[in-house]
Structure 1
């Protein structure tokens, strides 16, 4: 499709702002998601991207239904701690676009992004092709990594694997965190179809870290086809929590007692397995340093701000909610114990409860997520809901209709915008309560923006 048939505004230049560029790239293609590599590859080749990555960098590519962000964050932090110049690409972002593109842990500047966008746009026009927002921005990130001569690239797949733009770069190490039902409109409605798409990141004779104890036949078939080496959790490596400060990782060659990170242990174990299976020189001190410093906003992200206790988690499907609840139940017990010690038992205050600040995208399985949260046995006293400011957002009315199947209507409070819901949950909560914010990356981002604006 010719560019002239789709473009709706003039091309920005290097004097334009990052916002102008991002807005422009959201307008130049007919759909927000358009899977396939046929349009992307010619542009990538015009930029010299594919060859550059293979010549100069060691590439980790991480696919999966949940846990990709945490896994890529841990891999990157370990490589960086070992002294490698490390590129990290993740999506989506919570607050600012620059979060997606990092080198040695630092977000790249607006100027760096604009310069890369300009080069990608020139190559796109030269090829007379249209690209989606995600394709344009991912190519720009890869170009930035190549031009910065990063030694290690850690790439998070955006959607699926086989047809995702990240897959134009051949990985040296592949990770599939897990396979659940999500994005059924693009990947299929069963684990075999979804597994086949995610296993599309494999290459001949590659090593795969597989982070779930059950594996679809389609993934095993891809492993056999590519004669890949597979290390699977529960078979080839294992992990266990020792106490609140330490955990143990083991495989056939090594057993390590390590500091407990702020991220989930399964994702950390998958990341560590990938690093240990690579030829990179990363010793135990770098691993320990990384685990003590790695963080990722919005992933079981506990904060105390504005005299309230908050937990932010991007869980947006049934499997993600299971991860959240596995960690939330013990956190709640710890929270209750701490509140019991700090609050005068004669103060007359209400018992501590959980307030939910919640919104999701309309194409997600909202019913299963709400059902699991509401039946987890947690003292959720109120739900505060609003529509996210995003094209695929579920309306407040739809959220209410789903919630009311599982929750007393008197417990549900509706608002037009998440900022209003955020302000309302603060006013309705007490200092001993826990406010849980979940349902989408966009839910977390808008809630954090509202909190920042109020400070």
Structure 2
């Protein structure tokens, strides 16, 4: 497939081209992307914060972005995947980059790629595009979210002034390994010599400590160098700069968000000399931080909750949030997952929280079949006189059914993958 012609290709044309350019959707390694990075001369002069982890990294990015924006910094933020529009991935001052800018940058990267006689994956193109845009815009600070793992992720081609690993659990085992030790080794490779490295994982694999020593990073661990105390609808943070009292609860919902918020504040404490922030800006930033589809409530009667939980660890967090907000009535679960995920683990984590399972597929070649999902639900022992399973051709049909059945005392939870949530959101946008 040929690249869109100069000045005439739409963003949709470019995305189709980029998806077909490389023979593999995911190919771990930094050699190819580093060649193109050097060809483009990408050398950021601003502080770079890199955030990795199995779960929670999106929330930490959102809070950092919000607080730094409230302080008055020009903030670039790169995250993935997107829900509805590719532009969601690259933002400056919380605003998505426009189509024209993306197309221009993609053309520049494609020219450099050809000069280097190499190919790039879809994600690698996006990572380079984000940095190109940030440098051109002369931002004050960049927040980069790791896509997969850390050591061989395209984001790791850039050196972090502060690295954060939020959590370490089993996911993407075909690429990262099948133990927390192997996965911890991969994720901690975003650390840099003599630079702050923050980890909010409570049960730390030895491999992370080994990486810290091998790299020579300045390590800060949750509950040891920083943490929080919750009380009376507020919370206190303690970290490298001491205590911060009477902070507002983050706008992001869920019990895990205070741990994510404390990780964010630890980073800001450590970076205070280069990125000073006031406590008023911290408070405002916590209240204004937004991230879609992380226990996001989009309706109240009935309550509709969107959550991209797609691994057992995230499903356990979702279970805790559902249990803490249990309604008078039923919980309908609109459920679809990708076949390469730990479906059994997700079902087991939520088997006591869903009263009615509405099972479907998603618009992806990697979707798990309805029959497979239902079989895992049966294997988890959740089908009894109180648990009913229905099957649907797509998530939109499942949502229509749920809305017809649910009363104002019931709730609907959409979960299982980014695809599941995005399919429901696309349907809602047509109403």
TM range (shorter): over 0.9
Matched, 1:381 2:384: no
| Superposition RMSD in Å | 1.4
How far, CA to CA, are the matches of 1:125 and 1:308 in structure 2? 53
Matched, 1:250 2:238: yes
Q: Is contact 2:160-2:190 (8 Å) kept?
A: yes
1:26 alignment counterpart? 19
Matched, 1:155 2:144: yes
How far, CA to CA, are the matches of 1:234 and 1:109 in structure 2? 41
How far, CA to CA, are the matches of 2:145 and 2:241 in structure 1? 28
2:383 alignment counterpart? 408
- Closer/same/farther in 2, CA of residues 359 and 128 from structure 1, 3 Å limit: same
How far, CA to CA, are the matches of 2:332 and 2:158 in structure 1? 43
2:93 alignment counterpart? 104
Count of residues paired in the alignment: 421
How far, CA to CA, are the matches of 1:138 and 1:128 in structure 2? 19
Which residues in structure 2 correspond to 1:53-452 (within 5 Å)? 53=44, 56-244=45-233, 246-251=234-239, 253-256=241-244, 257-263=246-252, 264-278=257-271, 279=273, 280-304=275-299, 307-332=301-326, 335-336=327-328, 352-375=329-352, 378=353, 380-405=354-379, 406-408=381-383, 411-452=388-429
Q: Is contact 2:241-2:269 (8 Å) kept?
A: no
SS of the equivalent of 2:360 reads strand
Q: How much does 1:199 deviate?
A: 1.1
SS of the equivalent of 1:449 reads helix
Per-residue CA deviations over 1:215-239 (Å, capped at 9, x if unaligned) read 1111101111222211111111111
Q: Is contact 1:385-1:414 (8 Å) kept?
A: yes
For structure 2, the 5+ residue unaligned runs are none
Q: How much does 1:9 deviate?
A: 4.0
SS of the equivalent of 2:26 reads coil
How far, CA to CA, are the matches of 1:253 and 1:18 in structure 2? 45
Runs of 4 or more, structure 1, over 4 Å off, are none
Per-residue CA deviations over 1:375-395 (Å, capped at 9, x if unaligned) read 3xx3x3211111110122112
For structure 1, the 5+ residue unaligned runs are 1-7, 337-351
How far, CA to CA, are the matches of 1:236 and 1:77 in structure 2? 23
